[in-house]
């Protein structure tokens, strides 16, 4: 099953990356101006919209749950890139450089997913998509609290690990939605 998960993960990420790079060509790297808290809020908005759509079953703006999960994946990548990049890095970056950074962040996140899948036995496959949404919302609230604490934690993982978990949960949801 692990090989199947790897292939499914890669297919989902390929779709997310394609959209990410197209938007980078359209807009450049305007996201470089975002502060970490703004990125967290963007992820929150998308996850909250998914939850609303799950409960009400009707969309008035025509975007579906799948596109919102893709947005969560891509905003999580942006968040991880912003954590890595500094103020001395350029705001406007070439698409090829962004693609390389995207790939590196996703590869590291995929490696984390496989380590956790080993320990949890791919329990996510038996979860409801709504539970994955709730886990993303919980992780967002954790990140907000860490941000409010100026990044200080006493016994918890930092914000990057939470972004990685949210990305993986969103990929799991997208895998389940595509089956």
Q: What percentage of the chain exceeds 70 in pLDDT?
A: 96
Does residue 2 carry a pLDDT above 60? no
Q: How far apart are CA 119 and CA 110, in angstroms?
A: 14
At residue 156, the pLDDT reads 86
Nearest Cα to 77, choosing from 138, 132, 13? Answer: 13
The residues, any chain, with a CB within 8 Å of residue 112's CB and separated by 6 or more, are 161, 164, 168
- Structural domain boundaries, residue 72: 2-178
- Per residue in 153-176, pLDDT (tens digit) is 888 889 999 999 999 999 999 999
pTM score = 0.94
Q: How many domains does the chain have?
A: 1
Give SS3 for 81.
Answer: helix
Does residue 84 carry a pLDDT above 80? yes
84, 148 contact by CB (below 8 A)? no
Q: In this structure, is the dihedral angle defined by the CA atoms of residues 11, 16, 20 and 23, taken in order, positive or negative?
A: positive
At residue 3, the pLDDT reads 53
- Per residue in 54-77, pLDDT (tens digit) is 998 776 666 789 999 999 999 999
At residue 59, the pLDDT reads 66
- Per residue in 19-66, pLDDT (tens digit) is 999 999 999 999 999 999 999 999 999 999 999 999 987 766 667 899
At residue 118, the pLDDT reads 81
Q: Measured between alpha carbons, how far apart are the two ends of the chain, in Å?
A: 15
């Amino acid at each position: 099953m692990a090989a199947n998960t790897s292939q499914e993960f890669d297919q989902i990420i390929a779709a997310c990356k394609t959209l990410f790079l197209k938007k980078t060509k359209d807009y450049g790297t305007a996201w470089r101006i975002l502060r970490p808290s703004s990125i967290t809020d963007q992820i929150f908005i998308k996850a909250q919209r998914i939850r609303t759509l799950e409960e009400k079953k009707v969309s008035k703006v025509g975007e579906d749950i799948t596109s919102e999960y893709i947005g969560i994946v891509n905003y999580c990548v942006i968040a991880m890139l912003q954590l890595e990049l500094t103020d001395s890095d350029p705001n406007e970056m070439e698409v090829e450089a962004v693609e390389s950074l995207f790939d590196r962040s996703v590869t590291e996140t995929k490696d984390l997913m496989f380590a956790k899948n080993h320990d949890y036995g791919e329990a996510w496959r038996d979860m409801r998509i709504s539970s994955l949404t709730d886990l993303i919302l919980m992780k967002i609230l954790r990140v907000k609290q860490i941000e409010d604490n100026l990044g200080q934690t006493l016994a918890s993982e930092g914000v990057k690990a939470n972004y990685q978990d949210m990305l993986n949960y969103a990929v799991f949801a997208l895998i389940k939605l595509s089956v």
